[in-house]
């Protein structure tokens, strides 16, 4: 096995403050780095702070290179950030109603960080911890990096120890694979990992994505109540602002949401098809000519149009505003742990949760 070498390693005091770690030897064991994978004119950067994807750089139709995800220049900014830019979300992504659930007759209380609900794993989810770099191959035919995190029994209120891995790998000339897995140890526990990249194919900080075209391979969605908790129903997208079965501009029907007081898209879709890797979404930016196709093996995908961004200062001092990106977070259904009719997210001791995403870019 080829051990990782950081291209740029920075020891961040802010990390240790955030984690409540002392200095000295303990701090030395928690080194945070930035790691690059590169193949031709396609490259990404990852940090082991939150297993975060920091950049995705690829050409446009004229050959000009650009970064197509939002984020920050330094790891310290990710430590203090609240937008989940590029983070690996867990132990359970999305929302859990009333920050509680019952499993095998025992009730568990979680950390509420979204009103009365738990969002993206709680106050300190997997995107706010230091991961261990197990392997890193920066170049060659198929560059990759594998990161590991041990989630302890009781972390943010969740039961049982869980061993988590994520591998980012450039698998083709312009293809990025993200493989996640988690093994439960000792106790049954819910697991629902997600990747939270903010995509703007025109380039980060290039403005609104409302004109970019999206197609979602989903004919149903999970309606939500006022707190964005699913009602438990599956509803058809036909005749609603949520219908992207054919390519349409992101903003084409957003007025139907705004008129109801909804800030934009932030909803889980039920991906069509059976099990296994299948098409989830396609996005195209007319100005740059860049296109992205997403394949995954999860039952749902959260489509989010960065409704909460407002004056966030990102890479190179660029200011990100509302609708400055879109997220496509493949996942299990939100609040599934409290909805018996939804596909189960429970992982029993010794079982392995698996989640594969594949991004294919063209221009």
Say if residue 3's pLDDT is above 90.
no
274: pLDDT confidence band, cut at 50, 70 and 90? confident
Unique residue bearing structure tokens 């036909």? 238
Res 199: pLDDT: 98
The residue-averaged pLDDT of 61-68 equals 98
Tell whether residue 198 is among the known ligand binding residues.
yes
Residues facing residue 122 across a β-bridge = none
Say if residue 258's pLDDT is above 80.
yes
Res 21: pLDDT: 38
Tell whether residue 278 is among the known ligand binding residues.
no
The residue-averaged pLDDT of 65-73 equals 98
348, two tokens: 């029993």
Percentage of the chain modeled with pLDDT above 90: 91
* CATH number among 2.70.98.10, 1.10.10.60, 2.60.40.10, 1.10.287.3510, domain 34-362: 2.70.98.10
Tell whether residue 181 is among the known ligand binding residues.
no
- Taking the domains of the chain in order of start, what are their residue ranges? 34-362
48: pLDDT confidence band, cut at 50, 70 and 90? very high
Tell whether residue 242 is among the known ligand binding residues.
no
Q: Tens of pLDDT along 191-221? A: 999 999 999 999 999 999 999 999 999 999 9
Tell whether residue 338 is among the known ligand binding residues.
no
Q: Tens of pLDDT along 301-315? A: 999 999 999 999 999
Average pLDDT taken over every residue of the chain = 93
The residue-averaged pLDDT of 220-230 equals 96
The residue-averaged pLDDT of 132-140 equals 97
111, two tokens: 């950390």
Say if residue 26's pLDDT is above 70.
no
Tell whether residue 78 is among the known ligand binding residues.
no
The residue-averaged pLDDT of 237-251 equals 98
Please say whether the beta carbons of 175 and 295 come within 8 A: no
The residue-averaged pLDDT of 171-191 equals 97
Please say whether the beta carbons of 320 and 86 come within 8 A: no
Q: Tens of pLDDT along 345-357? A: 999 999 999 999 9
Res 226: pLDDT: 84
Say if residue 6's pLDDT is above 70.
no
Please say whether the beta carbons of 141 and 110 come within 8 A: no
| Catalytically active residues, by annotation | 196, 329
Unique residue bearing structure tokens 């650009």? 66
CA–CA separation, 153 vs 146, rounded Å? 23
Res 20: pLDDT: 39
CA–CA separation, 60 vs 291, rounded Å? 9
Res 29: pLDDT: 57
Res 4: pLDDT: 37
Going by DSSP bridges, is the β-strand pair 42-47/32-39 parallel, antiparallel, or unpaired?
antiparallel
Please say whether the beta carbons of 163 and 185 come within 8 A: yes
Higher pLDDT: 8 or 54? It is 54
């Amino acid at each position: 096995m080829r051990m990782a070498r950081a291209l740029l390693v920075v020891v961040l005091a802010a990390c240790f403050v955030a984690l409540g770690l002392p200095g000295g030897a303990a701090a030395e064991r928690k080194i945070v780095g930035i790691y690059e994978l590169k193949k031709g004119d396609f490259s990404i950067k990852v940090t082991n702070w939150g297993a975060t994807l920091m950049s995705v750089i690829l050409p446009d139709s004229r050959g000009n290179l650009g970064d197509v995800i939002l984020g920050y220049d330094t790891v310290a900014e990710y430590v203090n950030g609240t937008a989940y830019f590029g983070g690996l979300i867990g132990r359970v992504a999305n929302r859990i109603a009333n920050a509680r659930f019952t499993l095998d007759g025992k009730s568990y209380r979680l950390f509420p960080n979204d009103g009365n609900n738990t969002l993206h794993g709680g106050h300190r989810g997997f995107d706010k911890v230091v991961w261990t770099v197990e392997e890193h191959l920066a170049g060659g035919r198929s560059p990759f990096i594998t990161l590991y995190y041990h989630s302890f029994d009781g972390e943010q209120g969740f039961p049982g120890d869980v061993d988590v891995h994520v591998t980012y790998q450039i698998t083709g000339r312009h293809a990025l694979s993200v493989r996640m897995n988690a093994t439960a140890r000792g106790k049954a526990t819910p697991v629902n990992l997600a990747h939270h990249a903010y995509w703007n194919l025109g380039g980060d900080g290039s403005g609104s994505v409302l004109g970019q075209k999206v197609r979602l391979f989903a004919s149903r969605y999970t309606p939500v109540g006022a707190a964005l908790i699913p009602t438990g129903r599956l509803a058809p997208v036909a005749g609603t602002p949520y219908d992207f079965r054919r390519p349409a501009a992101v903003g084409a029907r957003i007025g139907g949401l705004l008129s109801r007081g909804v800030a934009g898209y932030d909803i889980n879709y039920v991906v069509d098809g059976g099990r296994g890797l299948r098409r989830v979404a396609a996005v195209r930016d007319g100005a740059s000519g860049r296109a992205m196709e997403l394949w995954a093996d999860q039952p749902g995908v959260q489509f989010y149009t960065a409704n909460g961004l407002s004056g966030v200062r990102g890479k190179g001092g660029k200011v990100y505003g509302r609708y400055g990106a879109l997220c496509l977070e493949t996942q299990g259904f939100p609040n599934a742990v409290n909805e018996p009719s939804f596909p189960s997210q429970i992982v029993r001791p010794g079982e392995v949760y698996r989640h594969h995403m594949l991004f294919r870019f063209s221009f």
